[in-house]
Amino acid sequence: MINQETYFTPRQIVEELDKYIIGQKDAKRNVAIALRNRWRRMNVKSEMQGEIVPNNILMIGATGVGKTEIARRLAKIANAPFTKVEASKFTEVGYVGRDVESMVRDLVEQSVNLVKAEKKEEVKLKAEQIVEDIILDALIPPIKGDNGTVKNAASTETVTGELPATDSELNERTRERFREKIRNGELEDRKIDINVKKPANPGVGMIGGGMMDESSMINLQEMISGMMPKKSKKRKVTIAEARKILIEEESAKLIDMDEVKDLAIQKAENTGIIFVDEIDKIAAGGSGKKGGGGPDVSREGVQRDLLPIVEGSTVNTKYGLIRTDHILFIAAGAFHVAKPSDLIPELQGRFPIRVELDNLTKEDFYHILKEPKNALTKQYEALLDSENVKLTFQEDALEEIAEKAFQINTEVENIGARRLHTVMSQLLNEFLFDVPDKIGPNANIVITREMVQDKLVGLITNKDLSEFIL
């Protein structure tokens, strides 16, 4: 049973999402309920646990309103494996394109990485001790004398009232002094020789006359990689670099990969989230309903290939078999041309929760610039702070930026919050170019409303020409 403390309540999930995403209350509530329902299912004590399937979500909204960000942040909150795929990259079996099962294999790969990172933290202390000994041995190799007698009288130390120290004792004292220096970071730039293992690369691409499918390719490469001997190569690196390389190697030795694989499969099956973007691109739309051929045939084929994965099936991965019954699928699309009803009925039925995301208003743009933890204004402030230059935005300047972004979205093309990147880049590029040559350290740049109007006048004027540009 999973500890309740590791899962947020729906209200807490929404509060966490609010730190990064402005508005979209309905979408946040629905994903919060879906995430909490996972904890509820895993804590059901009866045999009903296996029967409870997740309510997959279909998000409908224009580009740049926060569909992908909601799904990505949700996975981070839950510490769950997450993968994003674009439905338009898949094609019906027999056509050139990615196999739909590859999305599940990508999810398992993410899950393995998550579990490995957790296990590395558990063995970190032990790995660091082993690496410290390896680095010390490279600096001051230990003496392995069989009788401990003095080999060179000139090299011995004498202490008043004590017998002369043996070579092994001197070696041990020197090693302890250097161990302290290593721990204190005094020798980070000194170079040492270490042996680095090179992974075997089978490089298999074709078998016989035809191309292999993705699953067979993975299994064959894994088998050949396991059979080939791993070569080691001697490298001269700094102690700082050696520590990074050796920590990875030693951690890998201490981790039980069979346990990692089992936990990763379990984690992917019960907490995995697959975000299928651009699902409207594989909806038949217009001509598909008339029974016409062409690309619509392939689009419906992709939907039918997706269906068993979303319904629940078993997929073969290089880490083992994984069932997709309890993976949460979140699909998203703008649905400008096609409508959700253009998807095949079976696939529509697998996405019972439909959420329409609102277009961003001028007020939303203002809050996006000001409130999120990773707001664009804060990012630019951090960038210039690295050059010891202080950047500040006046309130009326933020209002003007929001006004301009909203205006361009309305009159040219609505690309949502991504429009702010265009506007902020146009506004600040001159300052970013002049630092540090013209604008030196300790300078203070204040962005005012007048400055915004002056810098963005070209962006607003040229919007009328954009429709004539091929």
Tell whether residue 258 is among the known ligand binding residues: no
* Among the listed residues 358, 375, 359, the one whose alpha carbon sits nearest the alpha carbon of residue 25: 358
d(CA 310, CA 239): 49
User: Among 457, 460, 453, which Cα is nearest to 397's?
Assistant: 453
Cα angle, residue 230 at apex, residues 228 and 231 outer, rounded to 5°: 125
Q: Is 122 annotated as a binding residue?
A: no
Q: Pick from 311, 323, 314, 312: which is nearest to 349 by CA?
A: 311
| Residues 6+ positions from 424 with CB-CB distance below 8 Å | 376, 377, 380, 401
| Residue 188 burial (C-beta neighbours within 10 Å; 0-12, 13-18, 19+) | middle
437 is in an annotated binding site: no
Angle between helices 376-385 and 362-370 (to 10 degrees): 30
Q: Is 109 annotated as a binding residue?
A: no
Look up residue 81 and give its two tokens. 């494996």
Q: Contact, 239 vs 135, CB < 8 A?
A: yes
**Contact in structure between 280 and 332 (CB atoms under 8 Å):** no
Structure tokens given for 335: 């649905």
Does 29 show up as a binding residue in the annotation?
A: no
Is residue 69 part of an annotated ligand binding site?
Answer: yes
173 has binding-site annotation: no
Tokens describing residue 5: 């403390």
Q: Tell me whether residue 346 is annotated as binding.
A: yes
- Tell me the binding residues for ATP: 22, 64-69, 277, 346, 418
- Tell me the binding residues: 22, 64-69, 277, 346, 418
